[in-house]
Structure 1
Amino acid sequence: MEAHAIKNVCIYGAGALGGSIAVKLAMGLGERVQISVVARGAHLESIRAQGLRVWEAGASSPVTARITATDDARELPPQDLVITGLKGHQLAAAASGIAALLHPGTRVMMILNGIPWWYFHRDRQSSHAETQFEELDPGSVLWRQLGPERVIGCVAYQGAEVINPGSIQLSNNGRYVLGEPSDEHTADIAAISALLMEAGVNNTISPNIRNEIWNKLLGNAAFNPISALTRALMTDIMFDPGLSKMVAQVMTEVRSVGEALGAKFALSIAERVEQSKAIGPVRTSMLQDLLAGKSLEITPLVGMVVSLGRLTKVPTPTSETILALVTQLDRETQRSGAGTP
């Protein structure tokens, strides 16, 4: 695949991250590439009526793009590239919609936090290649309908929030790390990276995407559930002695599980904790979802740390406790139908 051969790109799930990428692609690539989004509800209606609006970090006014938008992927033609902005626990329900966009050469770039459903496809770091997990991919619908061979892994370092329907606020000048599950530098991933760079989406290609996944998970497995349980911002968590100690405990467990599966980590736990103090007063994605009354992304971020700990015989007591608490929080939130008192 060459970058100029990518003519149709669909962002499936145009929330905070997906929507911001859609705007950059639409504004940066012009008419050479047809950009579309799959969204729903008030967000979709606002995109149709007023365009999709993104406030860059520090900007006083938004960038607005008029983009083809639908809630039914079957209305769109086959795509050369699909970029998913859905969270891990939302993907299985969207499998048939994503599958409707595919032609034989379509690649699917999945922006995901935590352990992705395709994690062990072509994995050479551990002895668990091609292992599947029911909790990540119920009934193997993603594995069967999309196929892990289509996946381009993507780890995002971009703070973003949907502040109103059709409106997205970015909190930093982010970056994305791409990687093939095989860790090969293929023509496809080179073309996709080049297309994103042309549109102003800062990205790099990793020679080991699993290491990137684990390094990001160090923070996600700690900050997301702790913020949801306490409703605290990142600064509040990191400057509270008890909470910051718990963060370090979770990070230590995540690192031990990752290392048991062959992952390498860039920083020590002490360095990672210190680095986190500079993030600022940010609401994590799980806290955003809790306050909006949405279901929480628990399994990829916390549940899989526990499950993979059992697989590798690595103890994860703090993560197990947090998993039980945040699972019950999610249960009660969904029962009451609202994330706020």
Structure 2
Amino acid sequence: MTSSLIKNICVYGAGALGGAIAAKLAKAEGTQTQISVVARGAHLEAIRAGGISLWEADADRPIIASMAATADAGELPPQDLVVTGLKGHQLAAAVPGIAKLLHSGTRVVMILNGVPWWYFHRDRQSGHAEHQMKELDPNGDLWRLIGPERIIGCVAYQGAEVIAPGEVKLSNNGHFILGEPSGETTADIEAIAALLQQAGVNISISSRIRDDIWSKLMGNAAFNPISALTLGLMSDIMDDPALAAMVGQVMSEVKAVAEALGSQIAMSIEERLERSRQIGPVRTSMLQDLLAGKALEITPLVGVLVALGRLTNVPTPVSATILALVTQLDRKNQQSAD
């Protein structure tokens, strides 16, 4: 695959991150790609009416990008590239729609926090190659109907929020890391990276995408559930000695499980905590979802960590306690929303 052969791109789940990438791709100059999005509700109607308004960090006016938008992926032709902006706990329900977009050569870039469902595909580090995690893919539909061989992993360091229907705001100049599960630098990943870079997306390619997944999870597994449980911003958490210590304990558990699976995290816990203190008053995605009455992204961030701790015989007592608490919080929050 070359970038010139990528003619049709669909962003499935055009929320904060997905909407930002769709807008940048739609506004990219010098490409002949057709951009479409799958969205729902008021956000979908706003995109249909006026496109996506994307506020880049520190911008005084938004980028406004028009594109085809639908709630039914079956209305779209087969795509050369699908980018999913869904969270891990939303993917299983979206499989039928995503599958409608695929042809024999379609590649799928999944922007995910936490451990992804395809993690063990072509994995030469852990000793558990091709192991399927029922926690993330209960019926095996992702593995069977999408297929791990199509996937290009993606780790995102990009703060983003839907601030109104059809309107997305970025909080920083982000960075996205792409990686083939095999670790190879293929023609496909080079073409996709080039296309995204041309659209103004900051991209790098990793030969060890699992290391990048665990490095990001060190923060997400701690800050997301603790922020939901306390209604605290990241700065609030780091300013509280007891909570900051808990963050460090979760990070230590993440690092231990990662290393048991053959991954390498270069940054020490102390360095990661110090970096976290510099982030400031950020509202995590899980806290955003809690306040909006949405289901929380618990399993990919915490549940699978605990499950992989069992698989590798690595104790995760703090994460297991947080998992129990945030699961009950999510249950009560959903009951209130209903």
Using the size of structure 1 for normalisation, the TM-score is 0.98
Other-structure match for 2:104:
104
> Using a 3 Å threshold, how does the CA distance of structure 1 residues 123 and 31 change in structure 2: closer, same or farther?
closer
Give the letter for the 1:298 counterpart: I
Within 5 Å, give how 1:202-221 maps onto structure 2: 202-221=202-221
- Where do residues 271-286 of structure 1 align in structure 2 (5 Å cutoff)? 271-286=271-286
Using the alignment, how far apart are the partners of 1:328 and 1:77 within structure 2?
41
Deviation of 1:295 after TM superposition, in Å, equals 0.1
SS across alignment from 1:213:
helix
Residue 76 in 1 paired to residue 79 in 2?
Answer: no
Higher mean C-alpha deviation, range 52-61 or range 94-103: 52-61
Deviation at 1:31, TM superposition (A): 6.0
Corresponding residue SS for 2:108: strand
Aligned to 2:33: 33
Q: Structure 1, residues 223-254: CA drift from partner, whole Å, max 9, x if none?
A: 00000001111111111111100000000000
Structure 1, unpaired ranges of 5+: none
- Local SS of the residue matching 2:162: strand
Task: Give the aligned residue type for 1:82.
Answer: V
Separation in 2, partners of 1:71, 1:170: 24
CA displacement at 1:112 relative to structure 2: 0.2
Give runs of ≥4 in structure 1 deviating > 2 Å: none
Report how many residues are paired. Answer: 338
C-alpha displacement at 1:266, in angstroms? 2.0
1:34-71: CA deviation from partner (whole Å, max 9, x where unpaired): 00000000000011112111111111221110111000
Letter in 2 for 1:309: G
Which residue number corresponds to residue 242 of structure 1? 242
Letter in 2 for 1:79: Q
1:319 and 2:328 are equivalent in the alignment: no
- 2:210 aligned with 1:227: no
Alignment of 1:38-77 (within 5 A): 38-77=38-77
Task: Please identify, of 206-215 and 54-63, the stretch whose mean Cα deviation from structure 2 is larger.
Answer: 54-63
Q: Which residue of 1 aligns with 2:163?
A: 163
Aligned to 1:92: 92
| 1:257 equivalent in structure 2 | 257
Taking the aligned partners of 2:288 and 2:62, their CA distance within structure 1 comes to 21
Match of 1:291 in 2: 291
Q: What displacement does 1:302 show?
A: 0.3
List aligned pairs for 1:143-222, cutoff 5 A.
143-222=143-222
Give the distance between the partners of 2:122 and 2:219, measured in 1 at CA.
25
* Map of 1:17 onto structure 2: 17
Query: What is the distance in 1 between the residues matched to 2:298 and 2:132?
Result: 18
Distance 1:221 1:31 in 2: 38
Which residue in the other structure is 1:330 paired with? 330
Query: What CA distance in whole angstroms lies between the structure 1 residues aligned with 2:288 and 2:80?
Result: 32
Find the aligned partners of 1:111 and 1:204 in 2 and give their Cα distance: 14
What secondary structure does 2:139 align onto? Answer: helix
Identical counterparts, % of pairs: 70
With over 3 angstroms needed to count, the CA separation of the structure-2 counterparts of 1:210 and 1:122, relative to structure 1, is same
Corresponding letter in the other structure for 2:238: M
- TM-score, scaled to structure 2: 0.99
CA RMSD of aligned residues (A): 0.8
SS at match of 1:138: coil
1:127 and 2:127 correspond: yes
Structure 2 residue ranges without an equivalent (≥5): none
